[in-house]
Amino acid sequence: MNWFKGLKGKIKINELLKKHTTFKIGGRADFFIIPKDAEDLRFVVRQARIHNIKIRIIGAGSNILVSDKGLNHAVVTLDCAYFKDIIIKGSKLETGSGALMSEAILFSQKKSLSGLEFLTGIPGSVGGSLVMNAGVQNKNIGVLVESVSVMGYDGKIKILKRRDLSFGYRRSNLGKYIILGAVLKLRKESREKILKRIKGYFKQRYISQEWKLPSAGCVFKNPSVDFADRPTSPAGRLIDACGLKGKGIGGAQVSFKHANFIINTGKAKAKDVLQLMELIKRQVKIKFNINLEPEIEIWK
């Protein structure tokens, strides 16, 4: 069924998704599509709708665990020049959703705009970071957002203003759209000061997190969210207190460096990670009577 005939961008059939996730885990997707521009994306969503094909948008694949069996879906990435464009207007950064956070951070630093530095080391795209409201401790990207341009799964484009947006702890109301780009409100500061801060954040991460082996960052949300939607007890500390650092199932292992990271020691399967997550949840429930919830998304 050649439902994608007329596509201007690229398509790969039976693409291995492990090539597109930071976990380096995941089976094949029936279709892996890189639309050329917004018009092409609209073509994809409309055709998929007509032919009853489910679409999933993948960013940098740094917060997902994809099933070993793969997906009978069209996985769409906005990793192309059109969706990676970044420009500055005054003290605002207008960025495509396909740009990496690291690209947005370095671009704004060069233009003497500050505000994004705390996101240093988060290996996501702008789109994925907005959906997840990525952040560190109590600071999240959501606070910087002025507006977001989105496409609905009917192909219609609209601009969501600040008042239309809702961000919480690792969540937003953007998941039902395809994010095309965003306007982020930053502030003027000297390049040197911004760079110094970026280096500081980078160093902090380097010391506290696993970098050498593939992972998807923190696997569980920090529980006990308080009245202001802020996490209060780090999941990593609870997992560590259960003595689970280094615990492995198949090729998946709880990181020695950060207990809320599961790493792929080489040949981990999604099922290994899922079993390890179940074991962690059980142990934390027994010891602390706390139910851990996944931070990563499980795609099956």
Ligand X SMILES: Cc1cc2nc3c(=O)[nH]c(=O)nc-3n(C[C@H](O)[C@H](O)[C@H](O)COP(=O)(O)OP(=O)(O)OC[C@H]3O[C@@H](n4cnc5c(N)ncnc54)[C@H](O)[C@@H]3O)c2cc1C
Interaction between residue 260 and ligand X (CB under 6 A): no
User: For the chain, how big is the Rg over CA atoms in Å?
Assistant: 19
Interaction between residue 62 and ligand X (CB under 6 A): yes
Residues 83-102 that bind ligand X (CB under 6 A): 97
Find the binder of ligand X among 35, 61, 70, 142 (CB under 6 A): 61
Find the binder of ligand X among 29, 41, 45, 64 (CB under 6 A): 64
Interaction between residue 122 and ligand X (CB under 6 A): yes
Question: Which residues in 200-213 are b (16+ Cβ under 10 Å) and which e?
Answer: ebeeeeeeebbeeb
Distance, C-alpha 85 to centroid of its chain: 19
Interaction between residue 283 and ligand X (CB under 6 A): no
Stretch that binds ligand X, among 3-11, 39-47, 104-112, 215-223 (CB under 6 A): 215-223
Find the binder of ligand X among 44, 131, 182, 184 (CB under 6 A): 131
C-alpha to C-alpha distance for 170 and 129, rounded to whole angstroms = 9
C-alpha to C-alpha distance for 145 and 156, rounded to whole angstroms = 21
- What residues contact residue 106 under an 8 Å CB cut-off, 6+ apart? 198
Determine contact, residues 248/265, Cβ cutoff 8 Å: yes
Q: How far is the CB of 188 from ligand X (least distance, A)?
A: 26
Interaction between residue 132 and ligand X (CB under 6 A): yes
Interaction between residue 277 and ligand X (CB under 6 A): no
Token representation of residue 180: 């095309």
Stretch that binds ligand X, among 10-18, 39-47, 123-131, 277-285 (CB under 6 A): 123-131
Residue 171's Cβ-count burial label (10 Å; 0-12, 13-18, 19+) is middle
Q: Which is nearer to ligand X, 14 or 208 (CB)?
A: 208
Q: How far is the CB of 286 from ligand X (least distance, A)?
A: 27
Interaction between residue 7 and ligand X (CB under 6 A): no
Number of residues that bind ligand X (CB under 6 A): 32
Token representation of residue 228: 């202001």
C-alpha to C-alpha distance for 67 and 299, rounded to whole angstroms = 6
Interaction between residue 78 and ligand X (CB under 6 A): yes
Find the binder of ligand X among 88, 136, 279, 290 (CB under 6 A): 136
C-alpha to C-alpha distance for 123 and 125, rounded to whole angstroms = 7
Q: Which residues bind ligand X (CB under 6 A)?
A: 22, 56-64, 78, 97, 122-125, 127-129, 131-132, 134-136, 175, 178-179, 209, 215-217, 297
